[in-house]
Structure 1
Amino acid sequence: MMIKDLADYQKPRERLLNHGASQLSHAELLAILINTGRKGSSSIDIANELLKTVDSLKELKSLSINDLNKIKGVGLYKALILKAAFELGERMHSRSVGDKIQITCPQDVAEFMMGKMEHLTQEKFVVLFLNSKNIVIKQKEIFKGTLNSSIVHPREIFSEAVKHASNAIILLHNHPSGDVTPSGEDIKTTERLRACGEMLGIDVLDHLIIGDHDYLSMVEAGYFD
């Protein structure tokens, strides 16, 4: 059935107008972006086909323009619209370093970085460098891949901290599985970097693990003495 044949209360646009975006299904929201259907299929049908190609919205966001373009009825133009919408959604949940983000608690870090890291399909280890007022002056991705204490080189992190006259740093990495429980390597890496920071007079304030709409602060969880 085409959308024009639906009753008004069933049409995605009308439902959005009357009930708000939060009341729409994933398929209905995608259908609004896709806008038009193809012969014999509505935009909702195409949206459902698109959703069947992934296991989660996290995976949907990671699809390339080429992947989206392969869905019959999407095409290049609609693929570009979808990618733009996904990117805007991420940016709305993130802020840039230029916004002078001051860190007062782990939640500040999470609000700053979760939008950038919670949907990643590969682990990334990131460091925030702070000045004496705990304002973020730089963020740097140190490496990609499964966290291993032998791979994370303190010299790379702390030479960057010295270069930018950082008083403190905050460590972050994501768990693509969504589970924010620290692994043995997470704990070992944190302890090693904290020890190096103490020798250099640069505080490692926290290590956050980012999961699927969730995070763990190792300070709050009691992993820091």
Structure 2
Amino acid sequence: MLFSTLFDPLGASIVVGGTCLATVLRCGLGDTSAALGAAGRLFQPRFKASRARAELATQVQEIQQDGVIRAEPHHVGDAEIDDVTDALIGSRSIEALQEAHVAHKRRRLRESRRAIRTFDQAAELSPVFGLAGTLVSLTRLPANPDAAADFTSAISMAVLTTLYGLLLGNLLFAPVGRMIARRAAREEGERQRVLDWLQKQVVGALPHLLEAKR
């Protein structure tokens, strides 16, 4: 009963449809796609440094035992980890490993910023379309003041569309944007810990250091 009183199909269509369309038009398909992808990844397992170190253990052990020159890359399925280990083994230098990490970090930050910006735009636009729905509902006010049912329906839609806009912006779009930002920040911290650990583990196996020890 409560749901039926709080649901207005026309009002919901104006607010939700208008907000989504305006967001796509303002941000573009590329940013919208990035936002949807980032939102979908919120439901995937988070990147954890401990798990990444465990996956790299075999590779690190081989480098420590045989040296980076004889080591063969062991891919673990993570794009950055695979690239940085390939760069390390292929160039035999920490600098190449760091450059690969920085390239991936820039890409991730660019994608997360696009997603956050898109959701911020949607959060900003949803109250606007709540107001638009209110104005549309007011145009439906009956000319005959005796038509009480039509008058009540129009006022109800006016109130509900305002409510839809506020809820959509503050309970969906804005929170999702902040969730993406927090997850991106945590992932960067975790990945930096993996990189620092990897550098410490393999630095002694690099050719120029081995030559210096001799």
- Give TM-score scaled by structure 2 length: 0.22
TM-score, normalized by length of structure 1? Answer: 0.21
Larger radius of gyration: 2
**Greater fraction of residues in strand:** 1
Structure (1/2) with the larger helix percentage: 2
